[in-house]
Structure 1
Amino acid sequence: MADVVYCPRQSCGTAVMVEPDTTMGICTACQYAFYELRNLRDEYLSATSQGKKFLEQRFGKRVIQKAVEESFSRDWLNENCKSCPRCGTNIQKVDGCNKMTCTSCKQYFCWLCLGVLSRVNPYSHFNNPHSPCYNQLFQGVDLDDEDALWSDEED
């Protein structure tokens, strides 16, 4: 699946589709060819001070800074979030069961397999013996912490 990046030219900023395995992007609006952000970030961060100055002169210091920030943000999202199967919104699971509700489109989905869940009975996905997520509603949840949260005893 292609990534959406924005043309680094200040006068343009058009959304550009870049394939994950490529190192270059070409803006469809202004035809400007540019490094994919992660590659530019990696090259900049591993460069000597002279190499960094060269890259800043070549691309502009603000473009370099944006490339570094955006690619670190994208890496964090890829490591910590999953996309809603309906609208693609990034969702982070902090705690709770594996029945998720998208914050954007309100679609129910399974955190484990990203399958769309029934609006009428979303838990049937976890109760059906033929489902790949059968009996896994709480898979990955630390039950010791959950027991402490629901305990009637006071410390």
Structure 2
Amino acid sequence: MDHDVVAAHNLHRQTIFRESDVGRLKAECAVRHLLTLNSESQLVAIPRAMTPDAAMTLIPEFDIVIDAADEVAVTYALSDLCKRRNTPFISASVAGRMGYVGGFCRNAPSYRAIFPALPDRVMTCGDTGVMGPVVAVMGALQAQMVLDVLMDTTPSPSA
């Protein structure tokens, strides 16, 4: 789910996209590319912005929610909803050369429990830039956490 279009300045860190995708909807390009990797996958592109209202209608359908939102307010809204629905929530974020990845909700604390309030200053990609290798590391850790939840490993990121 993403309402944005592919931009050339994102290609260094959003490696699923190609130069030929510039100007096209990210959600549709991602689905098209992933289907070339596994044509038996069942994927749906949702080219719209994630909002609290959109989350309310979509999250009941999913077994796990993976967050890579550009806005921390969306992360709070998704976590709040996942906590209420008892849905595992795996979140990651990068700004500059720093990042985090964490497993929240289900039986673990929510994002809001760990970070009770929005920070006074929120770093954005536009302010700080984003180093592609940091995105790769955080994305790999996030993918591992998602697999751990789906395979019900112990300990689980959302246990």
> Where on the TM-score scale, by shorter chain, does this alignment land: which range?
under 0.3
With normalisation by structure 2, the TM-score equals 0.24
Structure with greater helix percent: 2
Q: Greater CA radius of gyration, 1 or 2?
A: 1
Structure with greater strand percent: 1
Higher relative contact order (CA 8 A, sep 6+): 2
With normalisation by structure 1, the TM-score equals 0.25
